[in-house]
Structure 1
């Protein structure tokens, strides 16, 4: 191998840290299904337009571009904020989680975003009336 494997202690510490940072759709659904919804908030970190088209049930919309000390002042600092975006090809969840962490909040990211959520067959909420797609191309993830 080009790069040798880490020693087991270092590998375990890094993997433990990774699990402390990320949650996958299945684990999140298990919490939702069991009623273990206290202690965290699901946060869509992309633009309101995409939040309107499809979102994880119960999620709030807090675009990472709009996160400021003022815009998050009413959030409960005792909760964990699980940030998500489009997919592994979008980094809005990472940007949102970073901003929230820098503002003193506990955070996690949803692995794979709403794309992984839907691919796993989990439901999404949608607004009944959404505007027609713009003929002008724009970034798919709207972040």
Structure 2
């Protein structure tokens, strides 16, 4: 008797290794982002790609607000072309990170998704800060 879990056999180990290593090229998690920020090892720009209103209500300390619909060459001009962007949104129920990642990739910019978004951040016990963006992101 098999379960729904084992009914489809697991991939061979070599394929699983390639798959899971590849995932880390596309995503990071809240713990790794938090560790980088709190240990002064932040070698990326953390972008909150939700609306400015959502950002103002609560965001990851150190994140910049840049709603995904406003990502373009002009709004990214201040960043060197090799800047790694880590994007996040509300959480697993939100696809703004995918929309942002697509825009960034089309612009030739390195990008990773912070899985879990705000929901994951809070679930891990990390806090948010409130406040408006420090600069205009409307361009």
Indicate whether the TM-score tops 0.5.
yes
For 1:67 and 1:31, the matched residues in 2 are separated by 24
| TM-score with structure 1 setting the length | 0.82
* Offset from partner CA, 1:55-89 (integer Å, 9 cap, x none): 11111111111122222222222221000000100
Counterpart pick for 1:36 among 36, 41, 47: 41
Task: Verify: 1:3 aligned to 2:2, yes or no.
Answer: no
Aligned length: 127
Structure-2 residue corresponding to 1:17: 22
5 Å-filtered alignment, 1:62-77, equals 62-77=66-81
* Offset from partner CA, 1:119-142 (integer Å, 9 cap, x none): 2121211028xxxxxxxxxxxxxx
* Offset from partner CA, 1:25-77 (integer Å, 9 cap, x none): 1111111122101x201001111111111111111111111122222222222
For 1:122 and 1:75, the matched residues in 2 are separated by 27
Query: Once the 2 structures are TM-superposed, how far is the Cα of residue 106 of structure 1 from its aligned partner?
Result: 0.6
Q: Secondary structure at the match of 2:74?
A: coil
5 Å-filtered alignment, 1:70-85, equals 70-85=74-89
For 1:98 and 1:104, the matched residues in 2 are separated by 10
Structure-1 residue corresponding to 2:31: 26
- Give 4+ residue runs of structure 1 displaced > 6 Å after superposition: none
Question: For the aligned residues, what is the CA RMSD?
Answer: 1.5
Unaligned stretches of 5+ residues in structure 1? 129-143
Unaligned stretches of 5+ residues in structure 2? 1-5, 133-139
| TM-score with structure 2 setting the length | 0.84
